[in-house]
């Protein structure tokens, strides 16, 4: 056993590769509330998830495994990890505000910015699992308010935020507007496709159609896949895709990296991409096609009902001739845009999202989704 010390989850992924370990364990509650904790696991270079975790639990319960004494060795990798993050930086000097949200990436962010050109401000760098300033989830806009204020007050080019264990990234531009996970991924994809023409870029089923269309326009192949960082990593390995991402801010680089999600490495490549595309994140965001969409809507549904509800919606729509993508739940395409209904991988909830070209289309799509929920015996959430 090798102990590598306090740091973000991606530091464990890095250590498994660099130390040629047989596996890795990260003690983390990620962005969950402070009273949560858990273990992220790797076997070899691959994530352990789903049925593998169930099998491991059954094995532990059976007691049918070898026992004996091992050894514990402390192997500091923090400095080497930061060195590795910086190795691929090619960007211009910029003014950047950074917010690790009092999460595990605080020390790494502080070390990183000391070696980057430009002007940098770091807030909430002290690692504190009570999260005294805000919850460290960069997909929730209210958690970015402090960062927005710093960016605008100090005249920064952009702000970057990270979740509790440092494997996800969020961003705001110089005007204080949020740049969402699929928008970050599109900016990264356009940069990468300059060098890897025709490459496949993977995004999860919650991503905007703007992303998928944008990848194709930039000369790439866009693939829609199931939500879940372990599922995305596995799909990357199957397809050889050099880049993938999720709405949640997980960004995965196989190009010049290891294929896992690392918020800080994504930040380095994001700064490179912004620099190479004119240096103004606000302009890059503003130039994307304008669409209207809801935030991710989550509402309770019993564990034993989640899948039957989704299957019922899928079957009704397929029989009606609707255009349905069922890679993960039900994503329904219409002339107005699309709507999504899927079962959460980790909670007893259904997840919905709606995107349209205009307000009238958004209303029509919401009505369609509400109608399907009512047919399934589910009361639509008040914010739908």
Give the pairing type, strands 94-99 and 118-122.
parallel
Q: What is the pLDDT of the chain when averaged over all its residues?
A: 95
Residues 7 and 118 in one domain: no
Q: What is the CATH number of the domain that holds 151?
A: 3.40.120.10
Residues 161 and 34 in one domain: no
**What is the structure's pLDDT at 46?**
82
**What is the structure's pLDDT at 42?**
86
Q: Is residue 14 part of a domain?
A: yes
Q: Contact, 219 vs 198, CB < 8 A?
A: yes
Q: Is residue 92 part of a domain?
A: yes
Taking the C-alpha atoms of residue 187 and residue 185, their distance in angstroms, rounded to an integer, is 5
Residues 285 and 296 in one domain: no
Residues 127 and 222 in one domain: yes
Q: Is residue 383 part of a domain?
A: no
Q: Given 254, 272, 289, which residue is the final one in a domain?
A: 289
* Span 215-233, average pLDDT: 95
* Span 131-157, average pLDDT: 97
Give the active site residue among 30, 208, 230, 248: 30
Taking the C-alpha atoms of residue 170 and residue 186, their distance in angstroms, rounded to an integer, is 14
Q: State how far Cα 265 lies from the chain centre.
A: 13
Residues 177 and 248 in one domain: yes
Q: Is residue 384 part of a domain?
A: no
Taking the C-alpha atoms of residue 80 and residue 83, their distance in angstroms, rounded to an integer, is 5
Q: Given 260, 289, 318, which residue is the final one in a domain?
A: 289
Whether the pLDDT of residue 31 is over 70: the answer is no
Q: Is residue 380 part of a domain?
A: no
Taking the C-alpha atoms of residue 366 and residue 30, their distance in angstroms, rounded to an integer, is 32
Residues 128 and 94 in one domain: yes
Locate 97 and state its tokens. Answer: 């505000």
Residues 253 and 365 in one domain: no
pLDDT band at 382 (very low <50, low <70, confident <90, very high): confident
Q: Is residue 91 part of a domain?
A: yes
Give the pairing type, strands 349-356 and 337-343.
antiparallel
pLDDT band at 381 (very low <50, low <70, confident <90, very high): confident
Paired strand residues for 47: 42
Tell me the per-residue pLDDT of 69-100, one tens digit each, with 9 for 90 and over.
889 999 999 999 999 999 999 999 999 999 99
Residues 102 and 148 in one domain: yes
Q: Has 30 been annotated as catalytic?
A: yes
24-28, 246-250, 343-347: least confident range: 343-347
Element (H, E) at 41: strand 39-43
* Span 214-239, average pLDDT: 95
Phi, psi of 241 (to 5 degrees): -65, 135
Give the burial class of 22: count Cβ atoms within 10 A of its Cβ; 0-12 exposed, 13-18 middle, 19 or more buried.
exposed
Q: What is the CATH number of the domain that holds 326?
A: 3.30.310.50
Residues 59 and 104 in one domain: no
**What is the structure's pLDDT at 229?**
87
Q: What percent of the chain has pLDDT over 70?
A: 100
**What is the structure's pLDDT at 301?**
93
pLDDT band at 16 (very low <50, low <70, confident <90, very high): very high
Taking the C-alpha atoms of residue 138 and residue 323, their distance in angstroms, rounded to an integer, is 32
Q: Given 57, 74, 91, which residue is the final one in a domain?
A: 74
Residues 364 and 266 in one domain: no
Q: Is residue 329 part of a domain?
A: yes
Q: What percent of the chain has pLDDT over 90?
A: 84
* Span 35-57, average pLDDT: 86
Whether the pLDDT of residue 30 is over 80: the answer is no
Number of domains in the chain: 3
**What is the structure's pLDDT at 242?**
99
Q: What is the pTM of this model?
A: 0.93
Give me the domain span that covers residue 357: 292-375
Taking the C-alpha atoms of residue 154 and residue 147, their distance in angstroms, rounded to an integer, is 11
**What is the structure's pLDDT at 377?**
92
Residues 270 and 301 in one domain: no
Residues 278 and 310 in one domain: no
Tell me the per-residue pLDDT of 257-313, one tens digit each, with 9 for 90 and over.
999 999 999 999 999 999 999 999 999 999 999 999 998 899 899 999 999 999 999
**What is the structure's pLDDT at 111?**
98
Q: Is residue 382 part of a domain?
A: no
**What is the structure's pLDDT at 294?**
93
């Amino acid at each position: 056993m090798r102990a590598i010390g306090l740091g973000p989850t991606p530091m464990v992924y890095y250590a498994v590769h660099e130390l040629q370990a047989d596996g890795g364990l990260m003690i983390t509650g990620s962005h969950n509330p402070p009273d949560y904790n858990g273990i992220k696991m790797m076997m070899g270079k691959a994530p352990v998830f789903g049925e593998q975790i169930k099998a491991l639990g059954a094995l532990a319960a059976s007691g049918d495994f070898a026992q004996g004494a091992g050894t514990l060795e402390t192997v500091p990798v923090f400095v080497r990890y930061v060195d590795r993050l910086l190795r691929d930086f090619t960007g211009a000097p910029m003014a950047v505000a950074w917010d690790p949200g009092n999460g595990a990436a605080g020390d790494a962010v502080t070390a990183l910015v000391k070696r980057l050109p430009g002007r940098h401000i770091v807030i909430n760098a002290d690692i504190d699992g009570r999260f005294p300033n805000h919850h460290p989830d960069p997909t929730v806009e209210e958690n970015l308010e402090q960062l927005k204020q710093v960016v605008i007050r100090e005249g920064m080019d952009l702000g970057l935020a990270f979740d509790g264990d440092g494997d996800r990234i969020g961003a705001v531009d110089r005007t204080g507007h949020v740049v969402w996970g699929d928008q970050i991924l599109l900016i990264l994809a356009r940069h990468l496709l300059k060098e890897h023409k025709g490459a496949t870029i993977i995004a999860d089923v919650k991503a905007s159609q703007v992303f998928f269309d944008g990848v194709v326009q930039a000369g790439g192949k866009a693939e829609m896949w199931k939500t879940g960082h372990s599922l995305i990593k596995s799909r990357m390995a199957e397809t050889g895709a050099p880049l993938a991402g999720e709405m949640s801010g997980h960004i995965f680089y196989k190009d010049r990296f290891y294929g896992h999600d690392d918020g800080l490495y994504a930040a380095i490549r994001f700064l490179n991409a912004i620099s190479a595309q004119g240096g103004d994140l606000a302009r890059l965001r503003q130039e994307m096609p304008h669409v209207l969409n809801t935030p991710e809507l989550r509402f309770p549904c019993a564990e034993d009902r989640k899948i039957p509800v989704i299957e019922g919606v899928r079957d009704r729509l397929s029989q009606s001739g609707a255009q349905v993508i069922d890679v993960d739940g039900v994503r329904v395409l219409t002339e107005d845009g699309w709507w999504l209904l899927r079962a959460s991988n980790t909670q007893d909830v259904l997840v919905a999202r709606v995107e349209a070209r205009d307000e009238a289309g958004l209303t029509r799509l919401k009505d369609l989704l509400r109608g399907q929920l009512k047919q399934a015996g589910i009361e639509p959430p008040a914010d739908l």
